Structure 1
């Protein structure tokens, strides 16, 4: 009897020790904190931390300890930076990043080290395609999704021919591939695919080519400063009056103030929009604005917020013990996320199955005017899971 009591006390003590050892979950942010994408990285981190704050500063009863590495949006430094979090800081969870080239290396490092990775932005199709793995989840989009949805919109509007134009890099190719697939599947025809080297913004010769071809519509993928200049140049060339310009949502996200009148009326497709009439988005926007009064809530903040939601689902399933990786990931894989964008689930490849909204530029808003594609799943071509 005495031996049994002693064993029981020892077991209880061991349980307390284990619980204590797992009382903190280490989260490593590998995001851009300098350069062109710094504001995006800030928004993702803000969104993530907002969700944690809403849960009382803990997830599944565990304190969250944060580690940060500036990925510098430099793929050549990605493996080294990832290992600073994985090997040096021994994080339980990786969260990153914005740049697809960096994210591809990050996904490889996560798989090799058996570290759970949540991607809150990078849209490279390959991450949830040929490089898919049980360690990797995404709370954003694939480049294919908005493009494919806009292809369907173009058909619905009666357009028969289109030209695509983008930078000659992976994101642009994948977005325009998606548009071509969605458009041509329904009988449309992409008559030309125009590209220029990244990040050049000398569009005039290509705009002249578009004017000569006279397609029914133009689909484009540009972002940031390139998006600002392209939209202005397109309008200045007079093309907007005769050939509708359609785009993936990043054409007008974060760029409307600089684009001014040239952007008014533009149609884009994305998994988030202004004016979504759901309680979750209203609460999110109110909380975000209260917490970060000088920063408007945007798609990047939503993606960070949902990364924390997804992690919480996994941790709740294992009572906060992040070392139970298989059970945690299984719960994440099966999660239903009540997102500001609308409820979504994950595909087997770990990518959101989500509504893609049709948005129209109205003033300084990308106002939702409909759903371009309902519960759209990326085809995850090449995924062996």
Structure 2
């Protein structure tokens, strides 16, 4: 009996020592961060801004996470949805990263999410706005530091009514992001008593807008609500002004129609009203410090994409400090990530039960080539991810 007790004690000690040795070994290795972002093509600037913001957050914390060094593994997503599952699998299964950061494109996100759900890899979405990511496709290991199409568009419906715009035309590309965006605007606008008198969907990625602008002129609405981004945003805003519609019909949109585009749009953008979760002109200590640091480090000011990357970095800084750098205890790590609260450049930010940011949505007006903050269109807005089942 005595010998059996001794054997059990020794066996327990060996197991405990082995577990401790494994944890100590893991914590002596670098935290591995995988970036799956576009570094070439149309969205390269967005991928670079997210990466710059993320790395700036870590630099401000001595390039350590929970006391551990950091190793980066980078894959160019090329904004290609067909390559997303393979690229995600490489980061998770071959490179064995601890966290995956990205993507920009919602189609790429869909492919990444499938692999994340199969492997339990921790994924932090730093841009893609598809509503399903934290709703139907949510999971304990899925987080977002950006937005959903609903969150940035919904507040503009009430803004439009408050300003007396009772009859509105909507126009966007005929693809999921555009459809989700204008649907969110219409939801709040009609609930407030407004009427969408025409819904226009432009084949993606066409930037031939003249026939639509002619139709808008004939309808003579109080305002036009739009979602376009990148080159499409530049072309639409320029064409809208060139047609003279901006003189009599207010142009409204979620912030991506002008974000990152103001220099290219020039005077054509003056007076546009948008709603978004960040503005470079927010006059807070946190944003002023961030703008100064980012500009010093990269030679140009930050945009929304940079903030989304920065907050993903700060999220890991806070969570890894809470678990003392231990990435082996998955439950503790996920709980730490979910409990993060940031004094972000965008304002206060925390996470809902679906791991979506709870954040302010600002009403912005383009004045002299900048997004002036007119007010808060929705304070600490929480996305109704009613289909999320963790």
Q: Displacement of 1:168 after TM fit?
A: 0.3
The residue aligned with 2:153 is 147
Contact 1:274 1:368 in 2 (8 A): no
Equivalent pair of 1:317/1:327 in contact (CA under 8 Å)? no
Which of the numbers 157, 167, 186 marks the counterpart of 1:180? Answer: 186
What does residue range 1-385 of structure 1 map to in structure 2 within 5 Å? 15=20, 18-23=23-28, 24-293=30-299, 295-385=300-390
For residues 196-234 of structure 1, what are the alpha-carbon distances to aligned partners after superposition, in whole Å with 9 as ceiling and x for unaligned? 111001111111111111111100000111111101111
Q: How does the TM-score come out when normalised to structure 2?
A: 0.94
| Structure 2: 5+ residue stretches without partners | 1-6
- What is the CA deviation profile of residues 326-347 of structure 1, one whole-angstrom value per residue up to 9, with x for unaligned ones? 1111121122112100011111
Which residue pairs with 2:3 in the alignment? none
CA deviation after TM superposition for structure 1 residue 377, in Å: 1.2
Name structure 1 gaps, 5 residues minimum: none
Normalized against structure 1, the TM-score is what? 0.95
SS at match of 2:358: strand
Query: What is the total number of aligned residue pairs between the two structures?
Result: 383
Alpha-carbon separation, structure 1, partners of 2:22 and 2:387: 44
Cα distance in 2 between the residues matched to 1:21 and 1:128:
30
Q: Is the 2:26–2:328 contact (alpha carbons within 8 Å) kept by the matching residues of 1?
A: no
How far the C-alpha of 1:146 sits from its partner, in A, is 1.6
The separation in 2 between residues aligned to 1:258 and 1:344, in whole angstroms, is 31
Query: C-alpha distance in 2, partners of 1:247/1:14?
Result: 54
Instruction: State the 4+ residue runs in structure 1 displaced beyond 4 angstroms.
Output: 7-14
Deviation at 1:381, TM superposition (A): 3.9
Q: Distance in 2 between matches of 1:358 and 1:132?
A: 29
Distance between the aligned counterparts of 1:19 and 1:311, measured in 2?
20
Q: Deviations over 1:7-50 (max 9, x none)?
A: 98996797466323223111100000110001110110111111
Query: The residue matched to 1:153 in structure 2 has which SS?
Result: helix
